[in-house]
Structures are given as structure tokens and as C-alpha cells.
Amino acid sequence: MCGIVGAVGLEDCSETLLDSLKRLEYRGYDSSGVVTQDGDSFQMRRAVGKLKNLSQLMHESPLNGRSGLGHTRWATHGGVSERNAHPHIAGDKVVIVHNGIIENHSVLRAELEAEGHKFASETDSEVLAHLFLAAFNEGLSPRDAGVRVLSMIEGTFALAAMHIDHPDMMIVARNASPLAIGIGDGSGFVGSDAVALAHLTRNVIYLKDNDLAIVRPDGVEVFDIEGTPVNREVVIVAASQGMVDKGGYRHFMEKEIHEQPDAIAHTLAAMTDSQGLLATPIPRDELAAIDGIVMLAAGTSHYAAMVARYWIENLARVPVTCEIASEYRYRNPVTSAYSCAVAISQSGESLDTLMAMRHAGEAGLRTVGLVNVAGSTIAREADLVMPTRAGPEIGVASTKAFTAQLTALICFAAALAEAKGEITPERRDEIHRQIQKLPSLVGKSLGLFDEIRPVAHELTSARSALYLGRDVLFPVAMEGALKLKELSYIHAEGFASGEMKHGPIALIEEGLPVVALLAADEVMGKAASNLQEASARGARIILVTEERAAGTVDFADSVIKVPDVDPLLAPLLLSVPMQILAYLTAYEKGTDVDQPRNLAKSVTVE
């Protein structure tokens, strides 16, 4: 989950590289670096910590050069230190940047060291620099050196390399990790995504796995892994893929929480046909033929999938299994029970989800990508795309992408149910009408910040918290717990309320905060009894509920109320106060809300 950038053919490339890195900082922020070729030497600056540290260093000690590479790191192999920061230079001749994991790096490193190569870092990536150096030392051309290196490495990579004797030229390659090549006017660029290049060009080539390319100011040549030239389409990316700012909010997360009414409305528009009816990008006859769905996702997107399972099974009577993407691929799943795989991913780049989707596709399932980033790898590789229209989500904690995913998924569930004859067109239209109320209901729930602030204040002193929900609110409870732990570093777990008595209730002691989700649904009474059991053992109950259900738990210590909503849509609306609670708790604790420790927005390693 590092970000890589590169540029050739500019008057002075260092500021351009820094600007591109700023657009990629969501991918990792442990350390960063920039290298430029200045005449017959490489000049490099690297700094530990956020990109602003590198920026300051480059301000104090500027770099010159027409061509260069940059990197923002999320550490995998080797701790967070300047020497492990990229770029990595070998023999003063070759420099590389890399995103991914070279799985056979230990063997390669031992071989290279035996040949006399001296390593300067503990990273897996540095072997790439030495492999290129060895290939060039044998007199291979840039293309042949690239072919040689690709034939030796195993794992995932998006890489860019430069050689001192080949000025204004980059060798780039990818396997599973994202990479975009930008074509400028007398210049060439590379970036981990098109957003990194949006200020430079809209003409982009996305490499396929195991492609190799030579980027020069006057053009790009693409080769397959054997070195045979191949054609790859030049795509014109949307002009809107630019930088976004905080728009006056303190954090991107705060802004993104407030953008949810729009994110939901725009996603709903994408799931509505020209006659104003709920529809999906999947043709109706294909929908009707779906007899089993496997949902593949990670993190928050996985919780969205779990909510959707309740909806789809309940409305459409189609069996659904929700799989943690990183588990699915390696456990040899029985795929014959399902005809459709839905890969859910905000970024469209999570490697676990991409690999799981490929696995399902290879097993013959029709693949649907539910993604927020148009042009992402999952969007390009899925048979069909169901878009969320949340707009760029920059804060590492997913907020508007989650509620947009839920919006698309309830639309999908209702359209599927109608196509399969499980509900009438009138019921589908009624669900559609209820979904249309969501932007305004979510808008009203955004007024809860002041009410939630004192609850968050109390939570800051907690060492642990439990989140409870029953039925469709169980995955929402897990999502609430994930928000709290990733932002405020308070240990939090989500449980199915009915499961508490089977073990987790032992955790309850005097004052333990229990965030309890309650809706006016069929299980409300049972969920309230489960809370009574927790309260009787000293838990401090923070009830998050609809107005009309609040009276059911009259023993709660704090009550956060959202407006009444159709029971089907309660998971969506009740998510909002949980996001606000996690945000305010983290803010008060003074953690880095938009870039929490150890995390990255887009996880492109396995």
C-alpha cells in the first residue's frame, strides 16, 4: 500500500513529484522519498513520517533534474526508518520505487549478496534495484533488463526503475498492484493511480498484470512478460479526478460524514433507470437467473456485505455468503452453489478483494464490482460494475463510502427480489420511496454532533468498549466497533446481542461502555432484554436508536436518537451517529483522525 510516482522529460521534476505524492499519501504515510537524476548522478531526499517532513527537507535542500521517482511508504518488510524509505539506489547506477511484496526476496537477496551486492535496507524492495543493476551490468537493454527482472521475482508489484546511463527513461511494471502511466506533451509519468497524475495529464494507460513498459518523453512502449510488444488502450480519465480539500472542515472524515446525504442521493440516482424505477446495471434476465451470491470484501466493505445478506435473503430469497476476501481465496471454497460474486470495495484496489474476485471469476461465477473509484482495477476487471457515487473518500476511516455501499445494496436487493418475483413491483417502488427519504434523514442525523460530544468525552477514558446489535444491526455493531478502534485506538468489539450470554458477557464489569443499537423491528424486545442483562452487570449503556424505540430501554445511561425510519433502512441511519461518536472520541483524544497509525486507505498487499 505504498504510492509510487515518476516523471520523465520535465524542465524540473521535483515539485511535480511532490505534488503527485500528496495525492497518494492516502496509500501510506510512514515515510517518503524523492530521487532525481541530475546529470550523471542521482540526488535523493528521504524522510520518516508524513509527507510534510519530506516537503520541508526538499524546501531546505532542493533537488534538480528532468526525471525522477517518488514514493510514500506503508511499511511491510523492514521498520519505519530513513534507510528503509524508498527510493532505493543500487551501485549509484539504478534507482527503484516499489509497491507490493516481493515474496522470494530472501532467496534473491542471498544470491545477490553472494555475488557481492551490498544492501542498505531491510526491505524486500531493494532486491529490485540490485536485480536491475545486475541485468544492466550484463549489458542488457532496458526492455531486456525488465524482462529478466520480471522472470526472477515472485509476488505483487508496481515498480518503476531508472538507470543513470539511460536519462529520461523509466522502466515500469505491475502485477496485481495498481499502476497508471500518464502521457504528457513531451513528458511521461507514472503513478499508483490516475489521481496522482490528474494535475499532469488525462491520457492514461493502465497496464495489465505482468506488463512491462518503457516510458520516455516521446512515448510509451508496452511489452508482455516475454518482451513482446503489446497494445494497451489510452484511456481519457475524468477531469474530476483532482485533489480534494477539506472544504472548511477540520478533517476529511468530518467533511465526508457531512457529505453522506449527497453520496446516498448520487448513488441512488445511479441505481434508478430512465423511467425513475429502481434498477441495477445487471440486465433483468440475468438478475432473475441469480440463484446464489458470494460477497467478497474486507473491513468496512465486508460489514456492508453482511448487512446486504440480511436484505437479499429476506427480500429476494437468494442464498448469500459473505466472505472475508483474504480468507476466501486460500480456503478452496465450494463455488458451485453460487452463480454470482459481488466484490465490494471503496477503492476498487484492495488486493485481497481483487484476488478473491479473480478466484471467483476463474471458477465461472459472474463477477460484479461494487466500487466507488471508477477506473480502479476491480472496476476494470469485473464483468459488471455497480457504482457507488460517494465521491473521493480521503479519510482512512470509511464513512460515506459505507452508507453509499448500503444504499446500492438495498437497491440491488429490492431489484433482485422483484426480478425473481419474490416481491411485487409495487413493493419495490415502496422500498424505493423509503430510500429516497434517506438523504434528508441522514441530513437530520448530522445535527447530532453536539449531543454526542459529551458521550464521546466519557468514552475517551475507556480502555475498551462493546458494540451490540441484533439481526441486521449485528454487522452495523461490528462496523461501529471498527470505527472506534481504528480512530481512537480504544479496544472495541462488536457482538450479536443474543450471543453475549454465550461468553462475551464475562467481559462486562462496572462502567464498561456498551454501545447498543436498537431499531423498531421484530427483534427489538429480545435485543432490549439482552441489554438489560448487560446493564444488570454494571455496563454503561449508550443507546443508539430511533425516536420511537428509545423508550424500550429506559435504563440506558445515554441515548442518541435518530429520526424514525423504515426498519429495512435502520442499519444505514444508525451508522451515522456511530461514525460521529468515533470521530469525536478520536478528536478529543488527539489522534490523527484522517491518517490513523499503522493504516492506509488502500490496502494493496495481501
Q: Is residue 488 a contact point for ligand M6R (CB under 6 A)? A: no
Question: In this chain, which residue has its C-beta nearest to ligand M6R?
Answer: 299
494 binds ligand M6R (CB under 6 A): no
Strand order in the sheet with 558-562: 491-496, 464-469, 513-518, 540-546, 558-562
The residues that are catalytic are 2, 601
Binding residues for ligand M6R, total number by CB under 6 A? 16
Backbone φ, ψ for residue 525 (5° rounding): -60, -45
208 forms bridges with which residues in the sheet?
A: none
User: Of 299 and 571, which CB lies nearer to ligand M6R in the complex structure?
Assistant: 299
Strand, coil or helix: 365:
coil
220 vs 308 by CB, closer to ligand M6R = 308
Stretch of 142-150, 345-353, 358-366, 417-425 contacting ligand M6R, by CB under 6 A: 345-353
Residue nearer to ligand M6R on the CB measure, 296 or 534 = 296
Pick between residue 89 and residue 599 the one whose CB is nearest to ligand M6R.
599
- According to CB under 6 A, which residues from 260 to 319 bind ligand M6R? 298-301
Does 492 bind ligand M6R (CB under 6 A)? Our answer is: no
d(CA 6, CA 1): 17
Give the nearest distance from C-beta 475 to ligand M6R in angstroms: 13
**Per CB under 6 A, which of residues 440..479 are in contact with ligand M6R?**
none
Alpha-carbon span 461 to 490, nearest angstrom: 9
- Grid coordinates given for 391: 465521491
Angle, helices 400-419/425-436, rounded to nearest 10 degrees: 170
At 411, the amino acid letter reads C
Is residue 544 a contact residue for ligand M6R (CB under 6 A)?
Answer: no
Is 568 in contact with 410 (CB distance < 8 Å)?
A: yes
Q: Is 604 in the site for ligand M6R (CB under 6 A)?
A: no
Here the cell at position 115 is 555475488
**Which of these segments, 103-111, 313-321, 346-354, 462-470, binds ligand M6R (CB under 6 A)?**
346-354
Question: Residue 201, interface with ligand M6R (CB under 6 A)?
Answer: no
Please list the residues that pair with 214 across neighbouring strands.
171, 221
User: Is residue 326 near ligand M6R by the rule CB under 6 A?
Assistant: no
Q: In terms of CB distance, is 310 or 402 closer to ligand M6R?
A: 402
Select from 355, 365, 603, 605 the one that contacts ligand M6R (CB under 6 A).
Answer: 603
Residues with Cβ < 8 Å from 311, sequence gap 6 or more? Answer: 409, 410, 413, 472, 568
Q: Which is nearer to ligand M6R, 136 or 583 (CB)?
A: 583
Among 187, 203, 350, 403, the residue binding ligand M6R under the rule CB under 6 A is 350
Which of 146, 136, 187 shows the shortest CA–CA distance to 166? Answer: 136
Residue 100 CB, shortest distance to ligand M6R, in Å, is 16
Site for ligand M6R in 367-406 (CB under 6 A): 396-398
Q: Check: CB of residue 112 under 8 Å from CB of residue 127.
A: yes
- 324: Cα separation from own chain's centroid: 14
Q: How far is the CB of 303 from ligand M6R (least distance, A)?
A: 8
Asked if 353 touches ligand M6R (CB under 6 A), the answer is: yes
3-state secondary structure of 387: strand
Q: What are phi and psi of 131, to 5 degrees?
A: -65, -40
Contact flag: residue 345 with ligand M6R (CB under 6 A): yes
Contact window for ligand M6R (CB under 6 A) among 41-49, 307-315, 347-355, 432-440: 347-355
The least distance separating ligand M6R from the CB of residue 5, rounded to whole angstroms, comes to 20
Q: Are 150 and 212 in contact (CB under 8 A)?
A: yes
Nearest to 176 by CA among 377, 330, 30: 377
**Interacting residues of 301 by C-beta distance below 8 A, sequence separation 6+:** 344, 345, 346, 350, 353, 398, 401, 402, 405
Binding site for ligand M6R (CB under 6 A): 298-301, 345-347, 350, 353, 396-398, 482, 486, 602-603
